[in-house]
Structure 1
Amino acid sequence: MTELISGILPGIGEMMNIHPMLVHFPIALLNAFFLMELLGYLLKKSELRIAATWMLYLGTLGALATVVAGFRAASGAPHSHEIHQIMSSHTYYGISVLALSIVLSVWRFTNKGVYSKKGQIGSLCVALIMIIILTFGADLGGLMVYKYGVAVKAVPQPKGHDHGAHGHDSQKMIMPDEDDEFSGIELEGDGPGEMMENHHDNHDHGTHEH
């Protein structure tokens, strides 16, 4: 089964766990829920609030799957004591987001779309807290991956080729033979601008006859 998945989706096949893939769903859906809920409240549009409800339900399911996958990922990924501290905070944030999303989902389901003004404001406040916690949790997840390389296979870096700077030591150019005065001059520089500057440095305007 693993070989079949690797053949069809090689990127997923190389993943140590599916937590990084699942985490995008609750992040997107719960943020969309908060935005829809806020717009529905401000514009008094029930259609937006209905859409927000479904975003919340789907985001809660995504958060549940992500937390479960996260526990499996944490138990299988080797890490240092420093990373363990970050991972623990990341886990607490994830569980908190899941708990708040469940509370909001149950509240909306039991009220059947009928909300008092205080209830709407309270829901928005809880949702805002949830989004803030979600942001901090996602940030710690990115820190573990992009700074410490948790659950990421190391790739050797090629030497001698830098796409950012193209840092070649020198560029040598032999000038055309038509002008014997400059024939055979080697120009060193990082680009055409510096080569032209060197060209002018070697040119003697005082002895040149027009």
Structure 2
Amino acid sequence: MLKYLTSLNDHNLPYPDTIHPIVVHFVIAMILFAVFCDLIGFLTGKTNLFEVSWWNMFVATIAIFVAIIFGQFEAGLSQPYDLVKSVLNYHTLIGWSLSGIIATITAWRYVLRTRDPQRLPIHYIAAALGLTLIVGFQVYLGDQLVWVYGLHTVPVVEAVKDGLLP
């Protein structure tokens, strides 16, 4: 039994496929949808969208830590070769930073919600739009790791094991 728990598959993972992208796409969607709801609610006066936004940010704040745990675990198993290390390091740094930024914005959102659930200041909307830019850059880096550098893809895992990638 222990053999199955400690052995790695063709993707260099102890489970069938990467989990980090699944969880992180959930976080990305929730954050983007929360900002969208806040922006539409702010512009149209449909304040019921603020409640939708709040719950999306709340769950995204919890889920980003799950994404980071799996991201750190899977990054460690990816055996990054020299060319990919800088992108992976930036992705890791921004991911940890985003967890703090998202938690801070969610806490701010909670304070705003408790003071007046029917109103959001323009400063919060600006910060939320800034958050979407950071999330967008993080998505770009994550896409590079998979689609350009091929982390956890079978050909790259085999090339690293065979010593073809330094």
* TM class, shorter-length: 0.7 to 0.9
Between 1 and 2, higher relative CO (CA 8 Å, sep ≥ 6) is seen in: 2
Q: State the identity %.
A: 24
2:30/2:56 contact within 8 Å kept = yes
Residue of 7, 14, 22 corresponding to 2:16: 14
Code of the residue aligned with 1:114 in structure 2: it is D
For residues 155 and 40 of structure 2, what CA distance do their matches in structure 1 show?
44
Secondary structure in 2 aligned to 1:23?
helix
Alignment match, 2:9: none
Unaligned runs of 5+ in 1: 4-11, 156-210
Task: Report the RMSD for the aligned CA atoms in angstroms.
Answer: 2.4
For residues 65 and 89 of structure 1, what CA distance do their matches in structure 2 show?
19
Alignment match, 1:147: 148
Alignment of 1:14-33 (within 5 A): 14-15=16-17, 17-33=18-34
For residues 46 and 67 of structure 2, what CA distance do their matches in structure 1 show?
31
TM-score by length of 1: 0.63
Alignment of 1:26-175 (within 5 A): 26-111=27-112, 112=114, 114=116, 120-154=121-155
Paired residues in the alignment total: 145
Unaligned runs of 5+ in 2: 6-13, 157-166
For residues 97 and 35 of structure 2, what CA distance do their matches in structure 1 show?
16
For residues 92 and 131 of structure 1, what CA distance do their matches in structure 2 show?
17
TM-score by length of 2: 0.78
Q: Which has more helix, going by share of residues?
A: 2
Higher Cα Rg, which structure: 1
* Runs of 4+ displaced beyond 6 Å: none
Code of the residue aligned with 2:103 in structure 1: it is I
For residues 135 and 145 of structure 2, what CA distance do their matches in structure 1 show?
16
For residues 32 and 22 of structure 1, what CA distance do their matches in structure 2 show?
16
For residues 116 and 101 of structure 1, what CA distance do their matches in structure 2 show?
21
Q: CA deviation at 1:154?
A: 2.4
Code of the residue aligned with 1:110 in structure 2: it is V
Q: CA deviation at 1:110?
A: 2.7
For residues 49 and 55 of structure 2, what CA distance do their matches in structure 1 show?
10
2:64/2:99 contact within 8 Å kept = yes
Secondary structure in 2 aligned to 1:123?
helix
